[in-house]
Amino acid sequence: MDFNLTPEFIALRDKTRDFITQKVIPFEGDARETAHGPTPELRQELIALAKAAGLLTPHASIKHGGLGLSHVAKAIVFEEAGYSRLGPIAMNIHAPDEGNIHLMEQVASPAQQVRWLIPQVQGKLRSCFAMTEPAPGAGSDPSMLLTTATRDGNDYVINGRKWFITGADGSDYVIIMARTEDNQATMFLSDLNAPGIEIERNMESMDQCFAGGHSVLRFTNLRIPADQILGELGKGFRYAQVRLAPARLTHCMRWLGQARRAHDIALAYAQKRQAFGQRLGDHEGVGFMLADNDMDLHTARLHILHTAWLLDQGQKCNYESSRAKVVCSEAQWRVVDRCVQIMGGQGVTGESAVMRIFTDMRAFRIYDGPSEVHRWSMARKLLDQTR
């Protein structure tokens, strides 16, 4: 693996960095940022800026209107986009849309791509992914899936309840994971305004950076034609891995940008703030935290680049993406936590971006699989390998 960036990658990195700094960060604190993410109006304004800069939906294939980035190129661009909490929204690479676009490119039929994918790549549509359920349904263990899909003529009738569905409020379509009568998991596509879908409520959450927040959905006799099955019957869990392995890694990329932003703010503060006759950063306790931040940021970046490189070689990387998810989520969280400590009172108020990064990032250790589940999965694979 060659860690040198090509001239093309450097140019794309710098272009993205300039766009985020000059065009996106000025919108932070806009009144249209709500407790459930930016409003549709703010999102559309940001998307127009990214489109004008040639940076809209860069991870999508060239065929569908993106830049066709490799996984390594995504690592570079997504980190820069993540430097602002609004960057991924502006560039249309935020969760869950980024993962859904990847899945739709891999699995959706041509007709489904024309109906949902292409407008989504253009920034005209948003989507959500409905798999997680209230107890005793599917959560960290997807095999507990309770939502049902019953065949009725040429249609399937969906019944069930989902929660923690990121981006549901304001989405145009939804990918639904449901269990068919033969006890197999299948993915279905539906417009979100279809009869039989209800957004029961939006959930109050620590993070506020996702468009649409997190919602509770109910499906009551939702009728879906057979031609809106995503892929093939019974392959829902297989397709989930197509989506989740790369999506775990792109989370790491975006949050690395936020962790680096927090570190930059804390470093600047430690350079100028005086305490006990010297710069704050000259005190060993603070200086050591800055050094630890640098080590954690570098470690996270290496895990991201290595896993991205393996994905570019055609490997599935289920194990490697789990490892990267644990290492990155915990390392990046340590970075932001130290930044709050370094900044003291400034770190626990809205006077800087650090407090908001702190509250937004905490959930990263839980979604797309808690650290404990990934460790357990890795341990099983290690033991099987030993046998």
If you write DSSP's letter for every residue of 220-284 in order, what string do you get? Answer: EEEEEEGGGEESSTT-HHHHHHHHHHHHHHHHHHHHHHHHHHHHHHHHHHHHH-EETTEEGGGSH
Give the model's pLDDT for residue 246. 86
Give the model's pLDDT for residue 386. 67
Give the model's pLDDT for residue 40. 96
Residue 119: asked if its preceding bond is cis (omega within 30°), the reply is no
Give the model's pLDDT for residue 245. 80
Per DSSP bridges, beta strands 127-130 and 173-180 are parallel
Per DSSP bridges, beta strands 197-203 and 214-225 are antiparallel
Q: Which CATH class is domain 7-94?
A: mainly alpha
Give the model's pLDDT for residue 362. 96
127-234 folds as Butyryl-CoA Dehydrogenase, subunit A; domain 2 (2.40.110)
Phi, psi values for residue 189, rounded to 5° = -110, 140
Task: Give me the residues of the chain with pLDDT under 70, please.
Answer: 386-387
Contact between 250 and 98 under an 8 Å Cβ cutoff? The reply is yes
User: What dihedral do alpha carbons 105, 127, 72, 264 form, nearest 10°?
Assistant: 170
- % of the chain residues with pLDDT over 90: 95
Q: Could you confirm whether domain 237-386 is CATH 1.20.140.10?
A: yes
Segments making up each domain of the chain, as ranges: 7-94, 127-234, 237-386
Rounded to 5°, angle at Cα 295 from 258 and 336:
35
Distance CA 383, CA 375 (A): 12
What is the 8-class DSSP label of residue 331?
H
Tell me the DSSP string of 87-156. HHHHHT--TTHHHHHHHHHHH--HHHIIIIIHHHHTTS--EEEE---STTS-SS-GGG---EEEEETTEE
Give the model's pLDDT for residue 387. 62
